[in-house]
Amino acid sequence: MAEKKEIITLLDEIADLLEFRSENPFKISAFRNGANTIRKISEDINELVNSGKLKEVKGIGKGIYTVVEEYCSHGFSTALEELKIDIPDSLFEIFQIRGLGPKKIAQLFNQENIRSVEELKTACTDNRLSSVKGFGEKIQKKILDEIKQLEVNRNFLLIHFAEREAEKIKDLLSGISVIKKYEFTGEVRRTREVFSSLEVVVLIEAYKTEELISALKDKIIIDEIDEGTIKSNSTFNLPLTMYIVHSENHFINRLFETTGSKEFLRHLNYSHEKHDGNSEEEIFDKMNSIKVAPEMREEEFFSITKAELKKSSNLTGEQLKGFFHFHTTYSDGMNSIEEMVSAAKNLGYDYFAVCDHSKTAAYANGLSAQRILQQKNEIEEITSKHNWKLLQGIESDILTNGDLDYPTEILQAFQFVVASVHSNFSLSEDDMTKRIIRAIENPFTDVLGHPTGRLLLHRAPYKHTIKKIIDACSRNKVAIEINAHPNRLDLDWRNIFYAREQGCLFSINADAHSIENILLARYGITVARKGGIQPEEVINCFSYKDFIKFLNRKVTRKVEDK
DNA sequence: GCCGTTTTCGGCCCGACTGTTTTCAGTCG
């Protein structure tokens, strides 16, 4: 048994190593293509292997099938291991540095004997790399910057990976009988976008502490036992701190003082002696503060200028009725329109706007004018078959000059338009801001997609002035996307407060490329809640009638009012 | 390695961008 993701990683890794070893370029792309083919398969990969049906899939031949079959049955790949011979494990971290591909890494390894990120860093600091053929000062500087970022990122996990670690900890703690109750605190309770630690408050009887420690020692490595604190740094993919308390009152107070960020507590002049309470409300009361939701207990909370925007969010996942900005097999999605909508409907969504990639996104199989028509016909067929409220939208690329990548006559045929930047990221701050604002000013734009372009722990946002962009969204009645993909979580929650002050609307979108992805919307909810967003500020929470009103606020669109 | 045929070898192959070159290789979305 193997997970689909593992197979994809395996084939990509083989492709990287083949390239590192300067093998036949077509063989390399066969493996990359194999990885992409598997990525697009929606059936269970193990079943396809067992039944031999994988062999029939275009792009999977005898060679790749053998690799996948071996991995599924035995959990390893002889082909991969053979490619790894004579390569130190430390080299693989270099593959994470953007701008360095297999060929450049091979050059560094073979010519300069660079075998790890550390050695690469030294070579750059000693200015050794700028004189290597094919490298130069700019690349050397870029590598150093990337290494710096990598060193910071090493200490963080994305939210969906951190969640997995938290689940393991839940399993661990639930299995220890002396624990009366526990609750996650710190970054988990604040629902940060990336995590550097996992913290839990644990309640037990005082005389059972030794019993707890011995039960823990059976299952995890304990690195530190301090007064009331137990730490395990290496058992999970994030360091774990457990705060051990022996009374309900202590539980509440420990939970309170470990939830808010240090800056948040400092702003409130919090001290645990003076502000001890039997509930969090009581603690806030003692500080003469309104009650602040756990997820909003950040320094940024104090930048909110309008009192009514400090209210906790009432938003929940069940309130999302509109399912937008999802991709299908028409572009780079894994599932058909019908499969996507049907799955979303089962999860409680009521109306839908498919938004495949536009023509400029060639790498993602973006839609040509002809294929837009084809899709339109299919949508008409499906809607009449199921009586679905399904609209044809598009995720249109914002070109370098700020135009969307279809002429007006095509744009006006869409019923919903998400405008996003997918290329040419390195404009100056001024140029990028103007580019995005021009797209916002386009009368057909409904939503600004992933506004900052960041990929968490991977790529910094492009240079831009976010306040000017938010102002433009407010002026032009364009909703700002909260892209819920764990890699993005973009708009950053820190900018939500300002956007709300300008009266902006938001659109929470999973940017789903598969049925499984639909569930990612929940991370968008956590981000929105962190910014205090209420359901009436989210276009996905509108009734279908109000959503149509929203669509027709600037241009008239033909939408059947079902 | 995969595909497909006028079938067992020959062709396959995004395109823009960047930084290095001096006409291109490598990377990336």
A426 CB closer than 7 A to any strand B atom: yes
State which amino acid sits at residue A143.
I
Nearest nt to the A61 alpha carbon by C1': B2
User: At what angle are helices A429-441 and A466-475 packed, to 10 degrees?
Assistant: 10
Question: In angstroms, how far is B17 C1' from A175 CA?
Answer: 54
Q: Report CA(A181)–C1'(B27) in Å, whole number.
A: 51
What does the pLDDT read at residue A361?
80
Å: A268 CA to B19 C1'? 51
User: Is residue A306's beta carbon less than 7 angstroms from any atom in nucleic acid strand B?
Assistant: no
Instruction: Judge whether residue A52 contacts strand B, using its CB and a 7 Å cut-off.
Output: no
- Asked whether A507 and A533 are in contact (CB, 8 A), the reply is no
How does strand A416-420 pair with strand A447-448?
parallel
Which stretches in chain A have pLDDT values below 70?
Answer: 560-562
Q: Are A528 and A506 spatial neighbours (Cβ–Cβ below 8 Å)?
A: yes
Q: From the alpha carbon of A37, which nucleotide's C1' atom is closest? A: B2
Q: Which nucleotide is nearest to A426 (CA to C1')?
A: B17
| Nucleic strand B near CB of residue A388 (< 7 Å) | no
| CATH classification code of A320-551 | 3.20.20.140
> For strand B, is any atom closer than 7 Å to the CB of A121?
no
Q: How far apart are CA A173 and CA A200, in angstroms?
A: 10
- Chain B nucleotides close to protein (CB under 7 A) are 1-4, 11-21, 25-29
- Whose C1' is closest to the CA of A103: which nucleotide? B26
A4-153 and A158-303, same CATH topology: no
Report which DSSP code applies to A368: P
CA distances from A38 to A2, A32, A90, A254, A308 (A): 13, 10, 28, 47, 49
User: Which superfamily is assigned to A4-153 in CATH?
Assistant: DNA polymerase beta, N-terminal domain-like (1.10.150.110)
pLDDT given at position A24: 86
Q: Residues 360-379 of chain A: which lie with beta carbon within 7 Å of strand B?
A: 362-363
Name the CATH superfamily for A158-303: Beta Polymerase, domain 2 (3.30.460.10)
Confidence (pLDDT) at A25: 87
DSSP secondary structure letters along A172-194: HHHT-TT--EEEEEHHHHTT-SE
Judge if the beta carbon of A428 is closer than 7 A to nucleic acid strand B. no
Amino acid at A9: T
Residue extents of the structural domains in chain A = 4-153, 158-303, 320-551
d(CA A364, CA A356) in angstroms, rounded, equals 9
Closest C1' nucleotide to A67's CA: B1
* Strand B–CB A61 distance below 7 A: yes
Tokens representing A444?
């057909």
Report the protein residue whose CA lies nearest the C1' of nucleotide B17: A424
- The answer to whether A101 CB is within 7 Å of strand B is yes
Kind of pairing between the strands at A416-420 and A506-509: unpaired
Q: Determine if strand B comes within 7 Å of the CB of A134.
A: yes
**Would the Cβ of A502 be found within 7 angstroms of any atom in strand B?**
no
pLDDT given for residue A213 in this prediction: 95
Interatomic CA–C1' length for residue A213 and nucleotide B19, angstroms: 57
Which nt has its C1' nearest the CA of A100?
B27
Chain-centroid distance, C-alpha A185? 21
User: Is the CB of A109 less than 7 A from some atom of nucleic acid strand B?
Assistant: no
According to the model, what pLDDT value does residue A42 have? 76
- Residue whose C-alpha is closest to residue A492's, from A506, A471, A503: A506
Q: A545 beta carbon < 7 A from strand B?
A: no
Long-range contacts of A495-498, Cβ-Cβ distance < 8 Å, separation of 24 or more: A495/A466, A495/A470, A496/A527, A496/A528, A496/A530, A496/A531, A496/A532, A496/A533, A497/A300, A497/A303, A497/A304, A497/A309, A497/A531, A497/A532, A498/A466, A498/A467, A498/A470
A175 touches strand B (CB under 7 A): no
Show Cβ contacts of residue A421 under 8 Å, excluding neighbours closer than 6 positions.
A397, A398, A432, A435, A436, A450, A453, A462
Q: Which residues of A41-58 are buried (b: 16+ CB within 10 A; e: fewer)?
A: beeebbebbeeeebbebe
Give me the CA A44–C1' B5 separation in Å, rounded.
33
Name the nucleotide nearest A140; use CA and C1': B19
Which A residues 259-278 have CB within 7 Å of strand B?
none
Report the distance from CA of residue A35 to the C1' of nucleotide B1 in Å, as an integer: 13
In sequence order, what DSSP letters do the residues of A82-147 get, joined into one string? HHHTT--GGGGGGGGSTT--HHHHHHHHHHH---SHHHHHHHHHTT-GGGSTT--HHHHHHHHHHH
With a 7 Å cutoff on the CB, does A82 touch strand B?
Answer: no
Taking the CA of residue A281 and the C1' sugar atom of nucleotide B19, their distance in angstroms comes to: 58
